[in-house]
Structure 1
Amino acid sequence: MLEFTGQIDNAILAESAGHALNRHPALRSRFRLDLGTQRVEYRTDGPPGEVGFIDAQADGWSADELDRLVGVLCWTPFDLAEEAQARGEVIKVDDTTTLLVLTMHHISFDGWSRHLLVNEIIAGYQALRRGEALDPTPSAHPAGLVGPPPADVTAQRVAEAVDRLRGAPLTVTLPYDRCPAPGESSVLGANLSIELDEELTGKVMAVAAQEGSTPFMTAVALLAGTLSRYSGQRDFLFAFGWPGREDPATADAIGMFMSTLVLRVGLDETTTWRELVRNARIGALEAFMDCDVPLEPIATALNPGRHVIWPPLTPVLVNVDDLPLELPVAPGVTCRYRLDGPVHTKYDLDLFVRSDDGEHGSRLTLAIDYPTDLFDAATIETLLSGLRRSAVDLAYSTEEPCCARPADS
């Protein structure tokens, strides 16, 4: 959901969004299962999803009614066989506020695609405002951009990845408040976060820079150190999303290229915070090297009895939040992502790290998405406090063992 603030031309915005949904074959995808052959028919020659317009101001919509409408737009399922996998709605809230609700199915769309699509819609709006025609050229078809690696290469790489991960626990000891029986948990969640001030962020990232560690790798270290303090676990598998855009030809293509990678990070009683950051970096680099290895055969080898609809090797996901805070559109008009809707999470714990530049330096934000049927808010707040404590120790007690202090010190 995008919120435009300023004097926006809603008709032009709808035209630009509709053009973008039509230009990308992936967004016109249909997937039909042939029950006879048990094969999926994939087509992109159908019509695109529609972009509608609602004048909520003229029609007298209340705030509650508008919230319910947005919920319906966001969570109405797609018919994969009959419908395009993307649709939109432009909603005029008042004279200076417009919402653009874009709904895409993950089968045809990933996080990288989100940036491409939003940027294209804004660029199209700007072009139409200048009186220019939009580019009618279809974008590249995603099916023509990537292909499977040779079977013998895949088998060898899968075996190497399995060896790298073998022996690590396939679970993470988390401070659950409730543990529903398998199949009873929901994906409805909530989000809580903490922000590290400029001084602490600067010291944390200074240590990270010495070890060649990114904010993502640093977040992995902080999480592993914090969870180890709480539970005593010393070996962790964490999942993370990988854009899957190694081939330059995919850089500007909308589609579902993302894959899930799994990194391993470990520590023992003597591991210092600096060494843990180093371990996290090594684990991430090893996972990056396996970015073209499919996860399914790895999961089958390591966890053959898993339930196929749940994460295969770990209940914890770590990712980077790189959504821009604000996007310029036109003089006096800005756009920002609205993230105030319901949270849905498939993992038991999603940790997101983002870095924002401020007047006096950068600030790291650590945010956790969690299923509300597994955790109470107070438990997640305690875990976030533990992450802050770990950040302080990384910054100021860099050469001390991570496990030298209890979690609640």
Structure 2
Amino acid sequence: MPGDGDLAEINVVDVAWRDATPAQQGIWVLDTDEKLRPTYLIPTVLEFTGALRHDLLVAAAQSAVSRHPALRSRFRLDTATRRVQYHTDGPPGEIGFIDAVADGWSAEELDGLVDVLCWTPFDLATEAQVRGEVVRVDETTTLLVLTMHHISFDGWSRHLLVDEVMSTYRCLLEGREPRLSPAAHPADLVTVLSGQELAERVDEAVERLRGAPTTIGLPYDRRSATPSVIGANLALELDAELSGAVLEVASQEGCTPFMTAVALLAGTFSRTTGQRDFLFALGWPGREDPATADAIGMFMSTLVLRVEFDDTTTWRELLACARSGALEAFMDCDVPLDAIATALNPGRQVIWPPMTPVLVNVDDLPLELDLAPGVTGRYRLTGPVYTKYDLDLFVRVDDHGPDGSRLTLSIDYPLDLFDHQTIEGLLSALRRSAHDLAYSAEESHDRPADH
């Protein structure tokens, strides 16, 4: 295995295709399909306002993407042996600079540029899995556009990379050398369960999930034989009073906002479909080992939690069910989801998603970034929405100071499955459920209160 930052060694992943993680399998399969390929890109567009040094921002971003072995990765599938060859000795991706003011770029041309930077596929075999540009938009606005491939990068890594770029920029601005911990090679941090241990853990996970339906009665407007990943997003922000009441009841049961969202979604679906047993997918950061906390790479995995209850379950009890299901799922975080899915359904085709059409996750992107004195930034969330699941529910909590915290529920959904009005109706139903959880926690979830 290569050591920290050792670029000279070629690492061959000695894993048969059938033993590859779902992410590895999915990436190779999906990268052969133009329609699905964008779902494995992680574009990040940061918009900074204020007078900044563009040369220093380019240098800071270049330093960050060059430093981490994961971002220099190349991958090639040997079709004869069904094994993945992986090495990190190639050159890093390059960060460029475009002065849109001096070059006379129009707003439409800039939008087109950002779209190309964000969604142009990578050649996994020959290219570093990162590219970027610093774009001077006008006298006070600058964009930093970074795009990474999910095969070597995850959401946690995005926070680490952005933080490193900003801290390095501040050091360069002050004439100081940044003090950074050594960049770890992901291969040095990955542990694999032994065959016997894996079999035992898979058996435990299968027992937890056995008998649960892998479908959910979603309010489809239409079904497609060849579904697209092109989607849209709708969001619902609860007012401060309702947000505070929901979070207070949830805290009494030891529930995080994520667990609360799971309870609200299960309760809402139960009311409309009569289903009482649900499987939901979630993205798990994969950072249980402190050694991985500051490592850039693809450590994320997909877990499946189960929420099971009956028609007499109160909202408070449903919160407890969601918490229990989440904690049990977290215990299986090192068990490959594909192994679990295969054990539950040995004859299944290798498709994604494997066990549930619904994903629940946390939206934790910061609202504001402080780059330097007089320069603030924000994540610019523009462009198309791509989704692999039939429904993605995201929950976030923002502190609005004296006005208290606000709970936001947002849904990504495929346009070929749902109409705008249908998702609006689902969000309205989630709001009613939130109201009942907050103010009728001891009542059965199955009996909507009069609002």
TM range (shorter): over 0.9
Correspondence for 2:428: 385
Aligned match of 2:115 = 71
In the alignment, the residues of structure 2 paired with residue 294 and residue 8 of structure 1 have an alpha-carbon distance, to the nearest angstrom, of: 45
Choose which of 119, 133, 151 in structure 1 pairs with 2:177.
Answer: 133
Which one of 193, 208, 211 corresponds to residue 149 of structure 1? Answer: 193
Aligned to 1:214: 256
Change beyond 3 A, Cα 1:23–1:135: farther
Deviation, 1:138, is 4.9
1:64-213 alignment runs, 5 A limit: 64-134=108-178, 138-181=182-225, 184-213=226-255
The residue number in structure 1 matching 2:81 is 37
Contact 1:269 1:403 survives alignment (8 Å) = yes
1:62 partner letter: S
Q: 1:404 aligned to 2:447?
A: yes
**Is the contact made by 1:55 and 1:92 (CA closer than 8 Å) also made in structure 2?**
yes
Q: Which amino acid aligns with 1:295?
A: L
Q: SS where residue 202 of structure 1 aligns?
A: helix
**Partner residue of 1:254 out of 288, 293, 296:** 296
Is 1:242 paired with 2:277?
Answer: no
1:297-336 equivalences in 2 (<5 Å): 297-336=339-378
**Secondary structure of 1:395's match?**
helix
**Residues paired across the two proteins, number:** 406
Q: 1:198-251 CA distances to partner (integer Å, 9 max, x unpaired)? A: 111111111111111111000000000111111111110000010101111101
Residues 65-111 of structure 1 show CA distances to partners (whole Å, capped at 9, x for unaligned) of 11111111111110000000111111110010011110000000001
- The C-alpha deviation readout for 1:287-331, integer Å capped at 9, x for no partner, is 011111111110111233444242000010000111110011111
CA shift at 1:36, angstroms?
3.6
For 1:322 and 1:134, the matched residues in 2 are separated by 26
Match of 2:5 in 1: none
Could you say which residue in structure 2 is the equivalent of 1:28? Answer: 72
Offset at residue 335 of structure 1 (A): 1.2
* 1:281-292 aligned within 5 A: 281-292=323-334
Q: Name the SS for the 2:101 alignment partner.
A: coil
Q: Over aligned residue pairs, what C-alpha RMSD do you find? A: 1.4
Task: Please name the residue that 1:58 is paired with.
Answer: 102
TM-superposed CA distance for 1:136, in Å, is 8.1
Q: Distance in 1 between matches of 2:391 and 2:80?
A: 40
Q: Which residue of 2 aligns with 1:374?
A: 417
Cα distance in 1, alignment partners of residues 297 and 358 from structure 2? 25
- d(CA) in 1 for partners of 2:181, 2:336: 32
Tell me how far 1:266 sits from its aligned partner.
1.9
| Structure 1 position 376, deviation (Å) | 0.7
Counterpart CA distance in 2 for 1:155 and 1:77 is: 36
* Structure 1 CA distance for aligned equivalents of residues 61 and 348 of structure 2: 40
Residue 9 of structure 2 aligns with which residue?
none
Instruction: Confirm or deny: 8 A CA contact 1:25 1:138 kept in the other structure.
Output: no
TM-score normalized with structure 1 length: 0.97
CA distance in structure 2 between the aligned counterparts of 1:343 and 1:306, rounded to whole angstroms: 28
Matched AA of 1:48: P
Hey, what's the Cα distance between the residues in 1 that align with 2:358 and 2:321?
18
% identical equivalent positions: 72
Please say if residues 189 and 345 of structure 1, whose CA atoms lie closer than 8 Å, have aligned partners that are also in contact: yes
- Provide the rounded CA distance (Å) in 1 between the counterparts of 2:406 and 2:151: 34
C-alpha contact 1:194 1:384 (8 A) present in aligned 2: yes
Q: In 1, Cα distance between the equivalents of 2:130 and 2:389?
A: 25
Find the aligned partners of 1:304 and 1:232 in 2 and give their Cα distance: 29
In the alignment, which residue of structure 1 is the partner of 2:15? none
After TM superposition, give the deviation of residue 175 of structure 1 in Å: 0.3
Letter in 1 for 2:132: G
2:384 aligned residue: 342
State the AA in 2 paired with 1:128: L
Deviation at 1:360, TM superposition (A): 2.0
SS in 2 for 1:94: coil
Distance 1:331 1:403 in 2: 53
- Which amino acid in structure 2 is aligned with residue 355 of structure 1? V
Flag structure 1 segments of 5+ consecutive residues without an equivalent.
none
What SS does the corresponding residue of 1:403 show, helix, strand or coil? coil
Letter matched to residue 378 of structure 2 = R
Deviations 1:163-195 (A, max 9, x none): 1001111111100011001xx111111100001
CA–CA distance in 2 between the matches of 1:300 and 1:52? 45
TM value normalised by structure 2: 0.88
Q: Name the SS for the 2:77 alignment partner.
A: strand
Question: In structure 2, the residue corresponding to 1:58 is in which secondary structure?
Answer: helix
Q: Distance in 2 between matches of 1:308 and 1:21?
A: 33
1:272 matched residue in structure 2: 314
In the TM superposition, what is the alpha-carbon distance from 1:135 to its structure 2 partner?
5.2
Aligned to 1:299, the other structure's residue is in SS state: helix
Show structure 2 runs of 5+ residues with no match: 1-44
Counterpart residue identity of residue 106, structure 2:
S
| Partner amino acid, structure 1, of 2:223 | C
Q: Distance in 2 between matches of 1:89 and 1:396?
A: 49
Q: Judge conservation of contact 1:6–1:334 (CA < 8 Å) in 2.
A: yes
Q: Does the 8 Å contact 1:303/1:313 carry over to 2?
A: no
Distance 1:306 1:186 in 2: 21
